[in-house]
Amino acid sequence: MTDPENRYDAIIIGAGVIGCAIAFHLTKRGYKTLNVDALPAAGYGSTSSSAAVIRTYYSTRDGTAMAYEGYHEWKNWQQILGTDTHDGLAQFIETGTLVMKTAADNYQKQVLEHADALGIAYEHWTAERIVKELPGYDLACFAPAKTMEDDEFGTRSGGELTGGVFFFAGGYVDDPQIAARNLKDAAASKGAAFRFNTRIVDIPTRNNRVQGVVCDTGEEISAGIVINVGGPHSGKVNALLDVDPGVRIGHRPLRQEVVQIKPPETLGYSRQGLVISDNDISVYVKPGSGGQLMIGSQNPACDPHLEADPDDFSRDLTDRALTYAYRYSQRLPELGVSQHPVGVADLYDATDDWLPIYDCSDVDGYYLAIGTSGNQFKNATVAGRLMGELIDYCEGGNDHDAEPLQFALHHVEHTLNTATFSRRRELTKESSFSVLG
């Protein structure tokens, strides 16, 4: 591995939205980078299936602060990129987000404490306000969430939701794959290189230091830094090392489905674009293309995790998708649910506490941006900047495990203790243990 034409400062395995964001920020720091991806284009994998929700409510203070930082960057997308792109810009559609107050999440007490501490604006909506904004809504309680096979499915459990919290800062990105391509173009304009349709088959080490990667073509590419941003393949990427990278918290590829439903025109929603999180029925809802609603699970106990092989899994929707649609029809009785649903089935790379791993590893020069699927799209550019600073910190001789990087945010008065995202952490007790993070 001595050919200077085939040597880079950093090889990034993966070219999803976070992989491209890492390339963007490393090139800004002067690194010569190469992203390698087995798929044909940037953002072609699980990024393209993301719901791309931008929200500011998380179970932890650091998670909330990072999401609020990300919101500001999506609001100023062109300025963040600093260049024109080939595919046009992804658009951030700001709708605000409504989170229902439920007993299961202590009526949003913890979430609101984080919002107050970070200056995130919100207002309380009464039940009357919700029904005004969402005509036809039924606020009866149905918890705990159930599957359609349960004889109690659709049975009211007593009482009604008394209201929700509306966060002004929130919405969604119209095309997550275009967002990844925007970052790829911005990184390329600063010298980043990309290889697609290329699979990594080995990550050689010497004296506990990565030496680069070996491709399925037999080509060896040298680099003193390798970053695993492999999404659902991240576990398989780690297994290519001949040294244990020291990841203690579990992570695995989980199969997820999101169903698309056309809402009844008779409802005349004044806020058809509203993003909604409802833990009583354990679904989230966001606008989709063509006036559709996209409905996904918030991972209640009745929706067990389904681990899948990222190289061999079905993209066909199942009765799970129908279940999510029918759960939402408990709120909207007029919602027509087709027995032949359309939507998306893909994989999330999720940790056991549903918070990401942004970290170094037990192998010098080998870094991790994994366990991010499901709730980190919104944080992509912040994660890219964090990883750039983390790599500088570690390569500068600092012991990140002993003295974790303190990462100052630009738009929010908060400094992240990056131990929050450690590969060695215990389960985060404050976590929702769901896609909400």
Reduced 3-state DSSP string for 180-201: HHHHHHHHHCCCCEEECCCCEE
Say if residue 263 is preceded by a cis peptide, omega within 30 of 0.
no
The model's confidence at residue 1, banded by pLDDT at 50, 70 and 90, is very low
How many whole angstroms separate alpha carbon 385 and alpha carbon 400? 16
Backbone angles phi, psi at 54, to 5 degrees: -110, 115
Q: What is the pLDDT of residue 161?
A: 97
Burial class (CB in 10 A: 0-12, 13-18, 19+), 304: exposed
The model's confidence at residue 340, banded by pLDDT at 50, 70 and 90, is confident
**Is the pLDDT score of 144 beyond 70?**
yes
3-state secondary structure of 274: coil
The residues that bridge with 206 in the sheet, in sequence order, are: 209
Average pLDDT value for the chain = 94
**Which residues contact residue 43 at a Cβ distance below 8 angstroms, ignoring those fewer than 6 apart?**
15, 16, 17, 20, 176, 177, 178, 179, 180, 181, 184
**Is the pLDDT score of 271 beyond 60?**
no
**Is the pLDDT score of 247 beyond 70?**
yes
Average pLDDT over residues 16-41: 98
Which has the closest alpha carbon to 390: 429, 420, 355? Answer: 420
Average pLDDT over residues 50-54: 95
Backbone angles phi, psi at 90, to 5 degrees: -65, 145
How many whole angstroms separate alpha carbon 285 and alpha carbon 324? 10
Q: What is the pLDDT of residue 3?
A: 57
Considering only CA atoms, give the Rg of the chain.
Answer: 22
Structure-block tokens of residue 9: 């400062």
Structure-block tokens of residue 174: 């119209």
Average pLDDT over residues 283-291: 88
The model's confidence at residue 113, banded by pLDDT at 50, 70 and 90, is very high
The model's confidence at residue 86, banded by pLDDT at 50, 70 and 90, is confident
Average pLDDT over residues 384-388: 98
Angle of helix 61-75 relative to helix 109-118, nearest 10 degrees, comes to: 60
Structure-block tokens of residue 425: 């952490």
Tell me the percentage of the chain whose pLDDT exceeds 70.
97
Give the residue with greater pLDDT, 128 vs 340. Answer: 128
**If you search the block for the tokens 């029918």, which residue do you land on?**
326
**Is the pLDDT score of 401 beyond 70?**
yes
Q: What does the CA dihedral 85, 175, 355, 437 come to, rounded to 10 degrees?
A: 140
> Sign of dihedral through CA atoms 111, 115, 120, 125?
positive
Q: Which range among 185-189, 262-266, 368-372 shows the weakest confidence by mean pLDDT?
A: 262-266
Q: What is the pLDDT of residue 125?
A: 98
Kindly state the DSSP code that residue 217 receives in the 8-state scheme. Answer: T
Q: Where are the alpha helices (DSSP H) in 330-400?
A: 380-395
How many other CB atoms are there within 10 angstroms of residue 326's CB atom? 21
Q: What is the pLDDT of residue 338?
A: 78
**Which residues contact residue 285 at a Cβ distance below 8 angstroms, ignoring those fewer than 6 apart?**
275, 276, 278, 293, 294, 295, 328
> For the segment 145-156, what is each residue's pLDDT rounded down to a tens digit?
999 999 999 999
**Is the pLDDT score of 306 beyond 70?**
yes
Q: Which range among 13-17, 246-250, 336-340, 425-429 shows the weakest confidence by mean pLDDT?
A: 336-340
How many other CB atoms are there within 10 angstroms of residue 26's CB atom? 26
**Which residues contact residue 108 at a Cβ distance below 8 angstroms, ignoring those fewer than 6 apart?**
57, 99, 101, 165
> For the segment 347-367, what is each residue's pLDDT rounded down to a tens digit?
999 999 999 999 999 999 999
> For the segment 179-234, what is each residue's pLDDT rounded down to a tens digit?
999 999 999 999 999 999 999 999 999 999 999 999 999 999 999 999 999 999 99
Average pLDDT over residues 375-403: 98
Q: What is the pLDDT of residue 267?
A: 61
**Is the pLDDT score of 420 beyond 70?**
yes
Instruction: Sketch out the chain's domains with CATH numbers.
Output: 4-88+175-250+353-421 (3.50.50.60), 93-170+252-351 (3.30.9.10)
**Is the pLDDT score of 302 beyond 90?**
yes
**Are 391 and 407 contacting, i.e. CB atoms less than 8 angstroms apart?**
no
Backbone angles phi, psi at 221, to 5 degrees: -125, 125
Q: What is the pLDDT of residue 266?
A: 64
